[in-house]
Amino acid sequence: MRVEVVYYPYKIPITVHFDAIAAAAPRKPTTILPKQRRSFGNFLFYPVAFIFIALLVFSGLKIFQWFQDDQDNRVQQEYALEDANIQVVEEQGELVNPPEETATKEDDYWYYTKLPFYSADFTELQNKNSDTVAFIHMNDSYVNYPVVKTTDNDYYLTHAFDRSLNDAGWVYMDYRSVLPSDNTVIYGHGRWNGTVFGTLKNALNADWQANKDNYVIWLSTPTENFLYQIFAVYVVPAENLYLMQNFESPEQKAEWLSIMKSRNIAPVDVSVTPSDQILTLSTCLDDHDNRVVIQAKLIKRLAR
């Protein structure tokens, strides 16, 4: 493009060629921006966020349900304890497998046989749950429960005493067990707050083990009361050996008892023989399938 300019005062025409100026001027390079694309991360953000929020909500509901189950379990235990109307019975009862005459009277057996029986009333307990077969009590623990028994070992893992769904479960006897027997087995969840069989973990502590009065388990049934002396406390991975209930011979039971005693970590040395009737309590210790096991032998009984 050409433009003619008249310059005053001399009226001298000047022609300016803008095309030439434009051509001579330096130009910035033209940058062509690429078309923006959504990255793979952008596509993932929303589904990942949704999954995270869903897991958070789910975890919150599970925690709430855990505490709700625990509270329901506590309430039912309190009512059951009232219904049981536990009575202390001072009678001597029948001694079971006392030590030989050569044994010293200092043997703890004689100390524990002087303790009273605990006797429960089963009228209301069995009215509320016909599966009730016993009542169990231990010192320095939360163990004060009616013991139930059904046709399998699964139902009371997820049901409370009133048969409502409850992940805290209840204290229950192995469906293959009778009381007393070569080995009567009773289970319960090892709840971290101590409910059900949670306080059995106390037996692993030195303070618990140092108290002589803790080595006793009381059981009451509609027909008899029992007192057991603890001879073994230990932790073991989940297995079937300590749950063994039927023995082919006295020799097999003697070998089994020897293994059970060898596992003991408590500072006691209690003699056990194949003629002893054993009680085994089992609960979970952790999330790695370890079990806390407490085993005791019957030392006296009283018919009701």
Which H, E and C letters describe 127-180, residue by residue?
A: HHCCCEEEEEEECCCCCEEEEECCCCCCHHHCECCCCCECCCCCCEECCCCCCC
pLDDT for residue 107: 85
Q: Please work out, in degrees rounded to the nearest 5, the angle formed at the alpha carbon of residue 200 by the alpha carbons of 194 and 205.
A: 105
pLDDT for residue 68: 75
What are the C-alpha distances in Å from 117 to residues 123, 232, 301? 19, 22, 8
pLDDT for residue 12: 47
Are 216 and 222 in contact, with CB atoms under 8 Å apart? no
Q: Which two tokens stand for residue 112?
A: 């524990």
Strands 132-138 and 94-95, bridge-based pairing: unpaired
242 phi and psi, to 5 degrees? -70, -10
- Give the other-Cβ count within 10 Å of 9's Cβ: 5
CB-neighbour burial class of residue 135 (10 A; exposed 0-12, middle 13-18, buried 19+): buried
Provide the 3-class DSSP secondary structure of residue 261. helix
pLDDT for residue 71: 87
Domains of the chain: 57-303 (2.40.260.10)
In whole angstroms, give the CA distance from residue 209 to residue 215.
8
Regions in the chain scoring below 70 on pLDDT: 1-46, 49-50, 52, 54-67, 101-106
In whole angstroms, give the CA distance from residue 80 to residue 125.
7
- Give the other-Cβ count within 10 Å of 254's Cβ: 14
Q: Which two tokens stand for residue 78?
A: 């309190």
CB-neighbour burial class of residue 292 (10 A; exposed 0-12, middle 13-18, buried 19+): buried
Q: Which two tokens stand for residue 278?
A: 């054993």
pLDDT for residue 39: 58
pLDDT for residue 7: 43
In whole angstroms, give the CA distance from residue 297 to residue 217.
9
In whole angstroms, give the CA distance from residue 40 to residue 38.
7
Provide the 3-class DSSP secondary structure of residue 7. strand
In whole angstroms, give the CA distance from residue 205 to residue 208.
5
pLDDT for residue 65: 61
For residue 271, give every residue at least 6 positions away whose Cβ sits within 8 Å of its Cβ, in sequence order, or none. Answer: 99
